[in-house]
Amino acid sequence: MQALGPRIVITAFDGWNDAGEAASSAVELLRSSGEYERAHSVDPELYFDYQYTRPAVGLDADGRRRLRWPEATLWRPVGDDDTDRTRFWLLTGAEPARAWQAFSAEFVDAALADDVTGFVTLGAMLSDVPHTRPISIFASSENEEIREGLGLERSSYEGPVGILSVLEHAAESAGIPTASLWASVPHYVASATPSPKATLALLDRLHELSGVDVPRGHLRTEAAAWEASIDAAAAEDEDMTDYIHQLERTRDTWDSPDASGDAIAQAFERYLRRNNGDGPGEHKR
């Protein structure tokens, strides 16, 4: 049995944690590929600031106008009680604005009620990387057994954190081992959202961690089209082309045999320190 056990919560939230919608898109693809039922949802009145995460109005199947409130939900897989097969629970929604300890405790309690054996959080950050190279994934864990079993890093970052880190801490404190996967999304293509290449990289790394043959849908085709569209834009801008070449040289240095094994980890730490924990949104990791 793999290190995180057979019942793993895969977690991603909209907001700062989700550059290029890479992490939330990964969880949505997982959810669309199987049958899930609602295991637990929080009361939005307790955790969301509606001036930041506003409710939306839309039409239901009968043509009536309905309000949709911000939510965060744990989804449970339906059917297949094979205890030897690894299955995913999915935790996703909007990043909360307040009461993060209580928010995390609700979901950890719900996970414990379902005998969950592991947590994997997915995130994506804007970073100084080229779109033409493979998307870097920083894989880490605060759990020594998980690091040894899966060959992960331990983050040395100290500073402000956000909901993913709070959830990881709550899960570890409750005895549920955790791992974290962060994709580096080229910052100069922030407007080219979503970023299917980053979503694909997250799912590929999740497959390596869990052993589950996760669905990729049409991501490989979409990633190629995404990269080609940025190539076309860069071809019309000499400064952008030069900048991308500079990033490529730096990335190729990371990937060289002489590069330090923790080069990507160091870049991740520099990103967090440079932003003092702040990212594309108002919340912190």
Tell whether pTM > 0.95.
Answer: no
In this predicted structure, what is the pLDDT of residue 161? 83
Kindly give the confidence (pLDDT) of every residue in the chain, 285 residues in length, as a single tens digit, with 9 standing for 90 and above.
478 999 999 999 998 889 999 999 999 999 999 999 999 999 999 999 999 999 999 988 888 999 999 999 999 999 866 667 899 999 999 999 999 999 999 999 999 999 999 999 999 988 888 888 889 899 999 999 999 999 998 988 888 888 999 999 999 999 999 999 999 998 887 766 799 999 999 999 999 999 899 999 899 999 999 999 888 888 888 888 888 888 888 887 766 554 444 555 555 555 555 555 444 333 334
Round to whole Å and give the CA distance between 51 and 66.
Answer: 19
In this predicted structure, what is the pLDDT of residue 261? 44
In this predicted structure, what is the pLDDT of residue 280? 39
For 1, the token pair is 């049995």
For 139, the token pair is 């894989």
In this predicted structure, what is the pLDDT of residue 239? 83
In this predicted structure, what is the pLDDT of residue 219? 94
Distances (CA, A) of 183 to 122, 140, 233: 8, 12, 23
E strand segments, 49-195 = 56-59, 65-68, 72-77, 87-94, 118-127, 137-140, 178-186
Rg of the chain over CA atoms, in angstroms? 19
